Chain A
């Protein structure tokens, strides 16, 4: 259960973490600059377990893995969006944030509480349940291994 941070379409990785902070690698420090200049309250108020709910093409643009790391550092565990940009999607899986596709994100409100049930594939908010698309099988293998680093170690 966590607070919903609602975003629109085409949220790019420059917005998630601006270019001038890319020499930083520490998740907490990156998190302190997440959405700087576009949504300053995020870095101050986001808590462990919060959920980003967004529109289409979340994470478009640069391949910077600093973007999912910053979100993870801020406590985000799930990003639920109508669709994801390809590189962000893989980076998120690899760094341990789960990107999940849901067509109904327009119906979920900012600032409300929500929870994701991955096993039964739904997100619940304000007493309503919205179905999630399943995570592709080969990505799930990486998730189940505990991320790509663990997957690589076991290989």
Chain B
């Protein structure tokens, strides 16, 4: 019997043949902590009588959720983490680089076949590069910091076979929202998703990151795209690694297989208050919006802003909509800047902020008042996620967000 990518990754790390369902202690290749969950992990590491982290070179530290510090308590957390980094010899990207799930791949801290953990649920994003990466809590992270390994239950895999060409102004975000709607918020709990087919091999790395990022919104532990030419191309100059092939065997056992023709997918939105509450944009078109957020680890890359700028054209954003644009990292910010898009967005009426998580998790800025409606390219629309529990968050692609920001109401990007 053959093996899935997840089974192969665990087999190589545990140096024995591993199958789905087994519980193993596996070494990790990287452990990421940020300003929200990091302090708790460090405190628990100390409670566990940890003195030295397992390998400072494998610990990735950065601040992205509340930067620059938005409160004295956030500032104190930053100080505490800086001191820990210094004491342990961990390189700290601090507030300078951007959102963890963009920075980790960008800095070459992940490669195909790796096991990476992060104390952030969207750590599954690195599956876009063929890694097994997953989100864990702070206490599990403390254990990893101390021992460099963790218990894993090797997941069964749901294979997504997506083929065909996207319609104009329809893309990866519409596909992954469509999947969330089909599979449901817990339809992939304890499973790994494997993203296969020509729609994924044709997709660029940023698009794959959008899809892998949202695997958790179906409860999945990982969302893996088999590495290919595009993956190795992306890694060139970022990390020093030999090219190899990694894919599921043709006789691998999948828990479930689902097929999609992406040419049939229309622009999608997740309507309040669940990510699997997904409809065609046409079903909610005309709904007034107060705020539009384009950014986050899901859709904060140059390609996302270029798509939004293409839809914007020579238009202005509607007067009664607040448009907040936040590139996901310094590198992405510079690409957007050099392409002249920041000037274009600002002139059209947007606010452009420095790289950070921004309004996505309702902490630092851009919070909503009761009754307000936001359209966001991020990954969660839970009640209260972006401020008041009486506000409403819709999720969409950057193209739909830009079209809606121009009109002031939810709009199909193909109609602008």
CB of B254 within 8 Å of the partner chain: no
CB of A118 within 8 Å of the partner chain: no
Are A85 and B219 in contact (CB-based, < 8 A)?
yes
* B138 neighbours in A (Cβ, 8 Å): 65, 91
Interface residues of B in 25-66 (CB under 8 A from A): 36-37, 39-40, 43-44, 47-50, 65-66
* A91 neighbours in B (Cβ, 8 Å): 137-140
Smallest CB gap from A91: residue in B: B137
Smallest CB gap from A148: residue in B: B139
Smallest CB gap from B391: residue in A: A37
CB of A105 within 8 Å of the partner chain: no
Q: Which of A42-50, A53-61, A71-79, A126-134 forms contacts with chain B?
A: A53-61
CB of A115 within 8 Å of the partner chain: no
* A148 neighbours in B (Cβ, 8 Å): 48, 139-140, 142-143
* A87 neighbours in B (Cβ, 8 Å): 121, 135-137
CB of B185 within 8 Å of the partner chain: yes
CB of B186 within 8 Å of the partner chain: yes
Produce 1/0 per residue, A112-134, CB < 8 A to B.
00000000000000000000000
Interface residues of B in 209-267 (CB under 8 A from A): 219, 221
Q: Chain A interface (Cβ within 8 Å of chain B)?
A: 10, 12, 14-15, 18-20, 22-25, 36-38, 56-57, 60-66, 83, 85-87, 90-91, 94-95, 136, 138, 147-149, 152-153, 155
Q: Chain B interface (Cβ within 8 Å of chain A)?
A: 23, 36-37, 39-40, 43-44, 47-50, 65-66, 71, 73-74, 76-77, 119-121, 123, 135-140, 142-143, 146-147, 151, 153, 185-186, 189-190, 219, 221, 274, 361-363, 367, 380, 382-385, 388-390
List 19 A-B residue pairs with CB atoms under 8 Å apart, sorted by A's residue number: A10-B185, A12-B380, A14-B384, A19-B363, A22-B36, A23-B74, A24-B73, A60-B219, A63-B119, A63-B121, A63-B123, A64-B36, A86-B189, A86-B219, A87-B137, A91-B137, A91-B139, A94-B140, A136-B23
